[in-house]
Amino acid sequence: MLELSAVMPSLMNNPEMWNAVLARDASRDGSFVFAVRSTGIYCRPSCPARRPRREQVSFFQVPEAAEREGFRACRRCHPRRIQSVDPRIELVRRICHAIDEHDEEPQTLKTLSEQTGVSAHHLQRTFKEVMGITPRHYAESKRLNQFKSKVKNGASVTDAMYDAGYGSSRSLYEQSSARLGMTPATYGRGGRGMRIIYTTAACKLGRLLVAATERGVCSVALGDSDAQLVSALFAEYPNASIDSKDTTISPSLNLWLHDVLEHLDGKTPRLDLPVDLQATAFQLRVWEELRRIPFGTTRSYQEIAEAIGKPKAVRAVARACASNHAALVIPCHRVIRGDKSLGGYRWGLQRKEKLLKQERDSLIH
């Protein structure tokens, strides 16, 4: 992926802009912003703050370009509030805003063209002239930055990946070496730790793992072997303190394991357990809606999207289902495609099929 510093050298080293910054020239507000590497903040030219050394400064035509590189808006001069007198720059800012506002569902050139009222060709050309990259590259960069931010704030690599809009790990890993400097898993080891205890048991669907913190269940997983399930748990929380024995959490964990097994046996149709899940606001909305799906019935991804007031966010709903790591407690197995096919399931389509059949059979009997 191209970096702005690589495609816009004349802007990055423009002496006229530096002179405007030194003079605090308010007439240049809206024509560019300057960013300071030592503080991580970008400002408008007239900002009253103390001037940094020249070698610490970079210039960007629009605030969104500075933010793409990881800089934050100055709270003193509020550079985002200034409108540009250049219609080209204003168009580009509208495009950036449209992409940022619809990060749950990727925007195409066609939809961006319809929203801005300009042709796709003109939109693409203008955006690239101002930003140095295409709208698609801008969206990809924002997605990767979102992933990095989530991981830095303690989210697991998997949660951050799905929340940022990656449908699979392949597209993330294709970009990781150039932009992260390491693999996503390595990058994610800087996340905050948790104290987790787990236990495993046999069930109708193979092996079952239930893990919890003092606050509630943080993982319910289905698999073929204990080794596979435990390995996945450690990968999910690489910086956590994880053990299979803890006298504080053990009584609650044993009770929750019993409840899950009873549910799998069809003895308790509803599974209400306290959870301790790291999630975004959007994921929580989806998961809450999943818990409203009655036992033995299904909903389509489209129906879930409509129920949460995001009818166009079907793909984002599917990602939220895929990022769920509390099987059964968050019944993502009850969500299928609009054509009635099963769609995906984190713990295997055969298990999804068996779960749905078992629930339907329980209602009949």
Question: From start to end of 182-327, where are the E strands?
Answer: 195-203, 206-212, 217-223, 241-243, 299-300
Question: From start to end of the chain, where are the E strands?
Answer: 33-36, 41-43, 57-60, 72-73, 195-203, 206-212, 217-223, 241-243, 299-300, 335-336
* 96 in active site: no
d(CA 263, CA 357): 14
Centroid of chain to Cα 210:
25
d(CA 43, CA 359): 58
Which residue is listed with tokens 């030592």? 38
* 43 in active site: yes
Q: Are 2 and 27 in contact (CB under 8 A)?
A: no
- Report the residue count for the chain: 365
d(CA 291, CA 191): 28
Catalytic choice (47, 77, 321, 332):
332
Catalytic choice (43, 74, 218, 321):
43
Sheet holding 195-203, edge to edge: 217-223, 206-212, 195-203, 241-243
Centroid of chain to Cα 140:
12
What residues act catalytically? Answer: 43, 332
